[in-house]
Amino acid sequence: MKTLITGGTVVSSTGSALQDVLVDGETIAAVMAPGSQALGPITADRTIDATSRYVIPGGIDAHTHMEMPFGGTSASDTFETGTRAAAWGGTTTIVDFVVQSHGQRVQDQVAAWHDKAAGNCAVDYAFHQIIGDVNDDSLKAMDELIGEGITSFKLFMAYPGVFLSSDGQILQAMQKGAENGGLIMMHAENGSAIDVLVQQALQRGDTAPYFHGTSRPWQMEEEATHRAIMLADVTGAPLYVVHVSAKQALAQIAKARGAGQNVFGETCPQYLYLSLEDQLGARSDEWGGFEGAKWVCSTPLRARAEGHQDELWTYLRTGDVTSVSTDHCPFCMKDQKEMGIGDFSRIPNGIGSVEHRMDLLFQGVKDGRISLERWVDVCCTTPARMFGLYGRKGIITAGADADIVVYDPEGHTSIGMGPGRTHHMNMDYSAWEGWEIDGHVDLVMSRGEVVVDGGGYVGSKSHGRFVPRSLSQNLI
């Protein structure tokens, strides 16, 4: 099956040009000047007219948690519903986290995640490994996983008693990363100190969702980020700090990068757009003092008065924010977030955004925050390079997988659950209700198969495949 995408502007991380794209089966066969006869007359089985639209690589969301057991419940999107929503929004690869908690064996957990995902994904998927219990067995598994295409390992400085590793354990895992080339990903918040602040807030009677934010102040993120950077420096491990929300943490990352260290920062749409004041402090008639639970996640949304959001956009433009993922970890209000009525510490942490990342970041282009090419870079190309997918994913070039999005810069997307709005994630609310985007995902192709077309999902849950990853291709 040959498909010719004509008339569009192909956008890469480095430039844009009017080009035709020929897809043959699952891969891109050629990227050519419009109407080029260099390959002789082209006979395609199907032609897609992309006139006036951008043709970009499929998005890569390198941070999702589908059906993850967490906070006494499980993330509400399954691999099936979550990857379908991803497809709707122009994301054609997710990298999800296999979870190893205390007492669990890493390899058992990897097998469990393969079982959950196989045959249930609308788009391609890969895995990172959470190491929640650093011990001889899990350190050995880190070597084994590299050979199985799982080449990045998340550690936690937060969540004592659940995922937190001591500094000594982190050091050991980093030594392993330095040795085998695995990328160390870090949830950087000082969990022990935060736990005390949380207990003190609850004892004062500060039980509403807003106090989730105030009990995780930016100093706790900056301190942990700095500590992680120092530990990485001692060991020589490459370090990728996930879901950075504090501008001070990013300053630490920028400083380390300036010194030539392999340190990278990820942020998420919620930290670019949402805030402690507007969302965690929200009190609609429907939810009263509890509405802010919709946006309880960690790291937390930060105070706009402190200027984090604007500064994050700046770091995104200048390169010290390496990429934008969602940390997609959805929970419903009913029966899930509600567990924390009267005690914010029981609200399961997480926001669902896998469907909206490409649109929300495109709005940054429209608003003059980032360039068109940087949009593709932070959403598609650098995530591919960062996580060993580049060449196959994250780029429109001959030989790459035909993961392609046709994006209309003059289209419009209304996000939310109301009529005429878009929301396909398995949640009973949208964290982005009412957001209006000056752009639209018109068509999504995953390995040569159209999965979203003309505003409808036409894919299947048997399409997505596990993608083994190489070591990071993005080290300094």
Interaction site with ligand DUC (CB under 6 A): 65, 70, 187, 297-298, 327, 329, 349-350
Please name the residue that has the structure tokens 């109407």. 35
Residues 309 and 273: their CA atoms lie apart, in Å, by 6
Instruction: Show Cβ contacts of residue 411 under 8 Å, excluding neighbours closer than 6 positions.
Output: 439, 440, 442
Shortest spacing between CB 84 and Zn ion, in angstroms: 20
* 215 neighbors 204 (Cβ within 8 angstroms): no
- The residue within the footprint of Zn ion, chosen from 84, 187, 374, 465 (CB under 5 A), is 187
Site for Zn ion contains 385 (CB under 5 A): no
Picked from ligand DUC, Zn ion, none, the partner binding residue 349 (CB below 5 to 8 A depending on kind) is ligand DUC
Site for Zn ion contains 393 (CB under 5 A): no
Nearer to ligand DUC by Cβ, of 182 and 352: the residue is 352
How far is residue 308 from each of residues 88, 112, 145, 272, 314, measured CA to CA in Å? 30, 38, 36, 8, 10
Binding characters for Zn ion, 296-335, by CB under 5 A (x = yes): -------------------------------x--------
Residues 5 and 452: their CA atoms lie apart, in Å, by 15
Q: How many CB atoms are closer than 10 A to CB 114?
A: 14
SS3 186: strand
Picked from Zn ion, ligand DUC, none, the partner binding residue 129 (CB below 5 to 8 A depending on kind) is none
Nearer to Zn ion by Cβ, of 187 and 226: the residue is 187
Nearer to Zn ion by Cβ, of 54 and 240: the residue is 240
Residue nearest to ligand DUC (CB): 297
Q: Which amino acid is at 435?
A: W
Site for Zn ion contains 61 (CB under 5 A): no
Residues 367 and 47: their CA atoms lie apart, in Å, by 32
Picked from ligand DUC, Zn ion, none, the partner binding residue 350 (CB below 5 to 8 A depending on kind) is ligand DUC
Shortest spacing between CB 301 and ligand DUC, in angstroms: 10
Picked from Zn ion, ligand DUC, none, the partner binding residue 297 (CB below 5 to 8 A depending on kind) is ligand DUC
Tokens of residue 142, six digits? 């880190």
Nearer to ligand DUC by Cβ, of 177 and 350: the residue is 350
Shortest spacing between CB 349 and ligand DUC, in angstroms: 4
Residues 181, 127, 247, 194: is their CA dihedral positive or negative?
negative
Tokens of residue 357, six digits? 């990342």
Give the β-pairing of 321-324 and 436-437: unpaired
Please name the residue that has the structure tokens 């000047």. 33
Instruction: Select from 47-55, 187-195, 245-253, 276-284 the region that touches Zn ion (CB under 5 A).
Output: 187-195
Site for Zn ion contains 216 (CB under 5 A): no
Picked from ligand DUC, Zn ion, none, the partner binding residue 443 (CB below 5 to 8 A depending on kind) is none
**Binding residues vs Zn ion (CB under 5 A):** 187, 327
